[in-house]
Chain A
Amino acid sequence: MYLLVFAILVGGTDIEVNLASVQSAIPYGEYVSILLGLAALKAALIAMFYQHLKYEPKSLSTWVLVGLVIASLLMSLSFIQLHVGH
């Protein structure tokens, strides 16, 4: 299982690098979204299988999600400040 996850992580990284080489063919917003989505997927795999969050009690994964939500609040509300409603 760990080797399979490792293979997926390496494959995902390879996709990211290849995407960068064809970046001009993709709208920039979509390009960034795909890259960040891939990063999030890789992070989730590491957390679930290497950090064993998949096998831990739900209370622990909820705990982790709270931190992620709060971190994203700062970024999203700051983004709104800069780019929305001026």
Chain B
Amino acid sequence: MSDEIVPARARRWLFTTNHKEVGVLYLVTSLFFFIAAGLLALTFRTQLSVPNNNLLSPDLYNQFVTVHGLLMIFWVLSPFAFGFANYILPLQIGARDLAFPRLNAMSYWFYLFSGVAMIMSFFFGSAPDLGWTLYSPQTSVQYTPSIGLNIGAAALILIVVSITMSSVNFLVTMFKMRAPGMKLRHMPVFPWAILITIFMMLYAFPSFLAAVLLLYVDRAFGTFYFSSIQGGALLWDNVFWFFGHPEVYIVLFPALGLIADVIPTFARRPLYGSKYIIGSMIAAAVISFIVWGHHMFVTGIGVTSTKLYTVTTIAVSLPFDVMVIAMIETLVKARVKLKAASLFALGAVALFVIGGITGVYLASVALDHALRGTYFVVAHFHYIMVGGSIMGLIAGLYYWFPKITGRMYNENLARIHFGMSFVGFNILYFPQFLLLDMPRRIATYSASTGWGPLNFLSTVGGFIFGGAQLLLFLNLFLSQRHGSPSGPNPWDAWTLEWSLPSPPPPHDFDTVPAIAEDGTYHFGNSPGYPNGSRIGNGYAHSHLEGLSPWPIVMAFAAFIFFLGLTIGQPTSPTPVSYKPFWPLIFDGAILGVISLFGYSRERFSVHEESRVESWPFREVPNVKLGIWTFLGAEVIFFGVLIGAYFFVRTNSPTWPAVGTLFTIRNGFAMTLILLTSSLTAIMALVSAKIGSRNGLIASLLGTFGLGIAFLYVKAGEWIELGSSGVFSVANGLPATSYFITTGTHGVHVFAGMCMTVYLLVNTLKGRYLKGDYHAIEHFGLYWHFVDIVWVFLFPLFYLI
């Protein structure tokens, strides 16, 4: 498959693994979701434009608002940015592609199918309708029996999987595949922004994944994590906002990084204080993990916590001050070229400042008590997310459109687009600051409130802003066919992507770019580049024309599997339970196994260059770094599950005493079994390294057999506990937390056993014995991690 060079057009787009084509797919798809979410917004803005309106029923209004928020945050903002990251970032750092091209394609297809699932939820009774924050207990089956939320949960799980794959991929790429001389400190700000964003994604999204999984089991199996009256709602608040606050920086940082590249180009001078901007982003990213409580000021979390979060929230605003001041300093006394890209970039900075200042007001507990849940908050975050992020990303669209298509857009139409967008945006959102006594998420209001005129004005602004985007699409659609040729560097810019033709060839660089010791490189014929120097001697590398069907097949398999889990209608009204749709589950599982098999057997090689910048992971191979990165995400995932157990246990007035529920003997046996399996796993690696086929087979068989023994003892324990009648999964928090936490661990053990079978089959064919033992090593990393998790679960559940 990877040898084909000239495939049919549709097949090429379905099977591509080229970073530029995947980038285009992300960009186009995110713009479609932007239109969908925008239309939802215009509809509910129309509903709110006049008092006592009945265009939308309250139920439909709630669905539109919720899906608008979910689509914009998960399916528009980040994918839009990662469309650029996919296309441009490897060019900016001189990499030949992403580290794992098929994984990259799979990320995209998981993203697309997850979005399809979210939109499908409208057609199954009711889409999610409780706001994008999915607060408990509204998410319980008692208040939201419709399966639309189940399907929405499946969509969110799929997109988190997509994001995790992307995170691993981009981290390995940026650390291990930079062109010679492209040290980390020489990278432009946009790649730095993506790198920092990826860090936040890696450590924030597993928390959200755990939260959505627990929500799903609450609904599907009647567990009590979030519906418990003993702090269930507070538990959701914590695990959601631990993810939720880094998330708002995740959707913002790529746009800020992009703006930091655009402004210097059009100001015709280097970025002022780029090191301080990057340092500030790092600081803000770190602090973002300790501010989440400011979303919970009114939940009764105690004075110590509110003081702590007030301080950290004000602290997180400081790095942004540094970033904005540095960008403004770049502009002082500069003769800025006012093209569409620079107009949108400057507009984004201005709007971001307004949003940021209003965020500092909300950091005050006293003010937050009055403003929380009002339209002041809505205006605040839209100034950041739309004003700062969307406008910044549109700047990127105009900036890189010539590079991607080889054609110039119509500058006058683009300037009109900016004018209408900027004016429309402010008419849409500024009045909402003044609606600081109007609650969020109400479908209508009475005329006596006096909110009518400002709402009407806001809706007018919405239509101006929405209408302006039609100009964008018209401009780009016509220009990509009929625009004048752009040439390689229409902006006289200085980052590496502008050294290539527009559009770049499939293989990007003819020879690997070599950057000088001081980080400079020279291209083009014009003098006066601030970074002028000579390119060193590059070297030729093989062209990559990788096509693979397995990414889309695997993503589709996951899509129908999760649909099968969530599409089943309620079987009884009270208590509500859902019947899985087994045909889809079965089909998805079979297709998944087939695609895993096809993926593993496909000849798709990615050559690791020796002459690349790879500090600080010079000695760590790409796949090993990818696995450790993935395990880092798993640490957070299990950390949240264990943290949820701690939370519900310390919040419960009573808990079964040690030894009354679980037999310590069982736990001890399972611990010994897993520890022994870790020994056999390491023996497998030793055998592979010394070339002992029999030793390797015996060790792998031993690991597999011990895995079976572990699951056998676990299953016996489950059956014994379940048959007692007083300890089923839906019978209180002790049972809930036990079954779900150990069950999730058990799924990981099962996955490890499947890997063992795969390794055994290949060992019998003679693999892994002649220095090619890395797959055994990588399996071991995973298996030992699963063992480590159990090392904590044993005392937590059996001994404490």
Contacts and interface: CB of A to CB of B under 8 A. Distances in A.
A57 B617 contact: yes
B647 interface: yes
Contact of B794 (A16, A50, A56): A16
Interface in A1-15: 2-3, 6, 9-10, 13
A43 B674 CA distance: 13
Best-surrounded residue of A3, A20, A81 (most CB of chain B within 10 A): A81
A43 B647 contact: no
Interface in B265-322: 289-290, 293, 296, 301-305, 307-308
Contact of B799 (A35, A46, A50, A86): A35
B123 interface: no
Contacts of B676: 6
Interface in B764-798: 780-781, 784-785, 787-788, 791-792, 794-795, 798
B-side interface mostly: helix
B639 A74 contact: yes
B682 A13 contact: no
Contacts of A6: 675-676, 678-679
Contact of B639 (A2, A35, A57, A75): A75
A51 B619 CA distance: 16
Interface string B228-260: 000100100011001000000000000000000
A67 B780 CA distance: 19
A25 interface: no
Q: Size band of the A side of the interface?
A: 35 or more
A75 to B, nearest CB: 4
Contacts of A60: 617, 620, 625, 628
B5 interface: no
Interface in A41-70: 42-43, 46-47, 50-51, 56-57, 59-60, 63-64, 66-68, 70
Contact of B658 (A20, A64, A80, A85): A20
Contacts of A56: 619-620
Nearest to B650: A82
A71 B620 CA distance: 24
| Chain B interface category by residue count | 35 or more
Contacts of A10: 672, 675
A86 B302 contact: yes
A15 B303 CA distance: 40
A23 B203 CA distance: 36
B144 to A, nearest CB: 25
Given A63-B632, A81-B238, A50 B290 contact: no
B795 A39 contact: yes
Contacts of B785: 51
Nearest to A86: B302
Tell me the interface secondary structure of chain A in the complex.
Answer: helix
Contact of A13 (B625, B668, B681): B668
A3 B680 CA distance: 10
A63 B628 contact: yes
A38 B784 CA distance: 17
Contacts of B203: 66-67, 70
Given A39-B791, A39-B795, A73-B289, A85 B303 contact: yes
Interface core residue of B296, B618, B682, B800 (most chain A CB under 10 Å): B682
Residue among B616, B664, B799, B800 with max Cβ neighbours from chain A (10 Å): B799
A84 B781 contact: no
A59 B780 CA distance: 20
A81 B293 contact: yes
A17 B668 contact: yes
A2 B672 contact: no
A80 B290 CA distance: 12
B563 interface: no
Contacts of A13: 668, 671-672, 675, 794
A2 B681 CA distance: 11
A38 B625 CA distance: 28
Nearest to B640: A74
Nearest to B204: A70
A51 B795 contact: no
A84 to B, nearest CB: 5
Nearest to A44: B788
Interface string B670-691: 0110011011011100100000
A71 B639 contact: yes
B664 A17 contact: yes
Nearest to B304: A85
Nearest to B634: A67
Nearest to B243: A74
A81 to B, nearest CB: 5
B308 A46 contact: no
B646 A80 contact: no
Contacts of B290: 73, 77
A81 B300 CA distance: 9
B643 A78 contact: yes
Among B308, B639, B668, max chain A CB count under 10 A is at B639
Contacts of A20: 658-659, 664, 798-799
Contact of B616 (A39, A57, A74): A57
Nearest to B175: A59
Contact of A75 (B625, B643, B651, B679): B643
B207 interface: yes
B635 interface: yes
Contacts of B625: 60
B555 interface: no
A55 B620 CA distance: 11
Contacts of B552: none
A70 B794 CA distance: 23
Given A2-B683, A20-B799, A50-B682, A43 B305 contact: no
A74 B668 contact: no
Interface in B606-643: 616-620, 625, 628-629, 631-633, 635-636, 639-640, 642-643
Contact of A16 (B234, B650, B799): B799
Contact of A35 (B304, B679, B795): B795
B466 to A, nearest CB: 39
A57 B193 CA distance: 25
Contact of B682 (A2, A75, A78, A79): A2
User: Which 9 A-B residue pairings sit nearest by Cβ, starting from the closest?
Assistant: A85-B304, A71-B639, A59-B616, A67-B632, A67-B635, A35-B795, A86-B302, A85-B302, A75-B643
7 contacts: A46-B678, A47-B784, A51-B784, A57-B617, A74-B640, A78-B647, A81-B234
Given A56-B620, A74-B643, A81-B234, 15 more contacts: A3-B679, A16-B794, A17-B664, A23-B799, A39-B794, A46-B788, A50-B682, A51-B785, A57-B619, A63-B629, A71-B636, A73-B289, A79-B646, A85-B303, A86-B303
